[in-house]
Chain A
Amino acid sequence: MHRINLVKILSLLLLTVTISVNAQHDASTKAHEETTPQEKDLKTEIKEYIAHHLLDSYDFTLFSWTTDAGEHKYFSAPLPVIIYDGGLKIFSSSKFHHGETVAEVDGNYYKLYHNKIYKTDAEGTISYDEEHHPTNAKPLDFSITKNVVFIIIVAVLMFFMFTRMAKSYKGNLMPKGMGRMLEPIILYIRDDIAIPNIGEKKYKKYMGYLLTVFFFVWIINLLGLTPLGVNVTNNIAVTLALALITYFLTTFTANKNYWKHIFWMPDVPVLMKIILAPIELLGTFIKPFALMIRLYANITAGHIVLMSIIGLMFVFKSWIGSPLSFGLAFALALLELLVAALQAYIFTMLSALYFGMAVEEHDDH
């Protein structure tokens, strides 16, 4: 993205010259118009780059650049695309050539448009409705995208890390290796999150989920701060899945007392009971919804701000740009380290709180 596409600039300059001649602008505005397209181009390019980073993708790209000849080059690894369109079709995402060409599979043609797969004809035509939404058919997509790859990597990593850790406790109770680092965190989750919120008697059956969700969110948030361009938790589908698990666990392990407090609140007048029932019922959906939005929005906002600050370097183009952008990005990255852990903590904490509500006995309070 750093090298400026020559053809694009030339055509834009030509266009501005034509416009300025046609409109018979005076000299000062002409000079102004001739300098802006390049800047504007850079700004939109940065915006597009950030938007692109926030999306999931069908290949794992570390970096890309444009050669002087206007050719896009990518340093990337293709990932498998799995779609269901009258039969399961599996092919490599290298067939799309980063959305530049049409992929042909068993006589059908598919094209990437705004990071979504559409079925097209051999030329790759995409038709639009009046709101500029594509009207082409979308095949069912089960592809192993970049996010899926990183979810699998983190899952495998956690599996081996924690099974090895569990084994090291057999025989002697002194923690070894990873255990030394992670034992305090696990004890903290048990003693300060699970037991106070869920209660001494029932916390055990939720510990597995709470620990898993804490370490999954934490590790994947931390990976998001590396230059690998991982952005799993700022995909709303991922946080939706996590929130849904919390919701289902709450709903299916809830006792009679929980439902009684939702549908027929004790110790309030009958009229209030009727008013409260729909509100409480709505509340059960809002809680996991807030969990989903909170994680998604926090991580997305962090990534956008961090990348915009790095983008300042290319906008300023003077001696002040780089140190300013570096300093701000450094401070913000430190803050994001805190946010990564804090969001994992809050997700776990609120999940534990909801589980606690679900299993609370009436004589507990």
Chain B
Amino acid sequence: MTGLNFVGAGLIVIGAGLGIGRIGGSAMDAIARQPEASGKIQTAMLIAAALIEGIGFAALFAA
């Protein structure tokens, strides 16, 4: 059953991509609404994206 871990890896990438995409999209909305807070929003966005990415990589290594 070696093929299944590739399916798992694909699912992980889909999940992580969706998550990071949502963060990026919401950050864009937020910056559009309040351009003066863009610095803070970017920082928060990067941290959240990094956390999801960390989980994604951990799961990829397990797969």
A interface residues with partner B (beta carbon < 8 Å): 192, 290, 293-294, 297-298, 301, 342, 345-346, 349-350, 353
Assess whether B54 is interfacial by the CB under 8 Å rule: yes
Which residues of the partner chain A approach B51 to less than 8 Å between Cβ atoms? Answer: 290
Which residues of the partner chain A approach B39 to less than 8 Å between Cβ atoms? Answer: 192
A293 touches B47 (CB 8 A): no
Which residues of the partner chain B approach A301 to less than 8 Å between Cβ atoms? Answer: 57
B61 touches A293 (CB 8 A): yes
Which residues of the partner chain B approach A192 to less than 8 Å between Cβ atoms? Answer: 39, 43
Given A290-B51, A290-B54, A297-B60, 6 new contacts (CB under 8 A): A293-B54, A293-B57, A293-B58, A294-B50, A294-B57, A345-B46
A350 to B53, alpha carbons, bound, how many Å?
A: 13
A353 to B47, alpha carbons, bound, how many Å?
A: 10
- Name the interface residues of B32-63: CB closer than 8 Å to any CB of A: 39, 43, 46-47, 50-51, 53-55, 57-58, 60-61
B46 touches A346 (CB 8 A): yes
Which residues of the partner chain A approach B43 to less than 8 Å between Cβ atoms? Answer: 192, 349
CB pairs A–B below 8 angstroms (26 shown): A192-B39, A192-B43, A290-B51, A290-B55, A290-B58, A293-B54, A293-B57, A293-B58, A293-B61, A294-B50, A294-B54, A297-B57, A297-B60, A297-B61, A298-B53, A301-B57, A342-B46, A345-B46, A346-B46, A346-B47, A346-B50, A349-B46, A349-B47, A349-B50, A350-B47, A353-B47
Name the distance in Å between B17's Cβ and chain A's nearest Cβ.
14
A11 to B17, alpha carbons, bound, how many Å?
A: 46
Name the distance in Å between A218's Cβ and chain B's nearest Cβ.
15
| B50: nearest chain-A partner, CB-CB | A346
Which residues of the partner chain B approach A297 to less than 8 Å between Cβ atoms? Answer: 57, 60-61
Which residues of the partner chain B approach A294 to less than 8 Å between Cβ atoms? Answer: 50, 53-54, 57
Name the distance in Å between B49's Cβ and chain A's nearest Cβ.
9
Which residues of the partner chain A approach B53 to less than 8 Å between Cβ atoms? Answer: 294, 298
Which residues of the partner chain A approach B47 to less than 8 Å between Cβ atoms? Answer: 346, 349-350, 353
A297 to B55, alpha carbons, bound, how many Å?
A: 11
Which residues of the partner chain B approach A342 to less than 8 Å between Cβ atoms? Answer: 46
Which residues of the partner chain B approach A293 to less than 8 Å between Cβ atoms? Answer: 54, 57-58, 61
Which 5 A-B residue pairings sit nearest by Cβ, starting from the closest?
A: A297-B57, A290-B54, A294-B54, A346-B50, A293-B57
A33 to B58, alpha carbons, bound, how many Å?
A: 40
A293 to B51, alpha carbons, bound, how many Å?
A: 11
Interface centre among A297, A298, A301, A345 (most CB of B within 10 A): A297
Which residues of the partner chain A approach B60 to less than 8 Å between Cβ atoms? Answer: 297
Which residues of the partner chain B approach A346 to less than 8 Å between Cβ atoms? Answer: 46-47, 50
Which residues of the partner chain B approach A298 to less than 8 Å between Cβ atoms? Answer: 53, 57
Which residues of the partner chain B approach A345 to less than 8 Å between Cβ atoms? Answer: 46
A345 to B55, alpha carbons, bound, how many Å?
A: 18
Name the distance in Å between A286's Cβ and chain B's nearest Cβ.
9
A350 touches B61 (CB 8 A): no
A345 to B42, alpha carbons, bound, how many Å?
A: 12
A301 to B13, alpha carbons, bound, how many Å?
A: 13
B57 touches A350 (CB 8 A): no
| B56: nearest chain-A partner, CB-CB | A297
| B51: nearest chain-A partner, CB-CB | A290
Which residues of the partner chain A approach B55 to less than 8 Å between Cβ atoms? Answer: 290
| B46: nearest chain-A partner, CB-CB | A346
Which residues of the partner chain A approach B50 to less than 8 Å between Cβ atoms? Answer: 294, 346, 349-350
Interface centre among A192, A301, A346, A353 (most CB of B within 10 A): A346
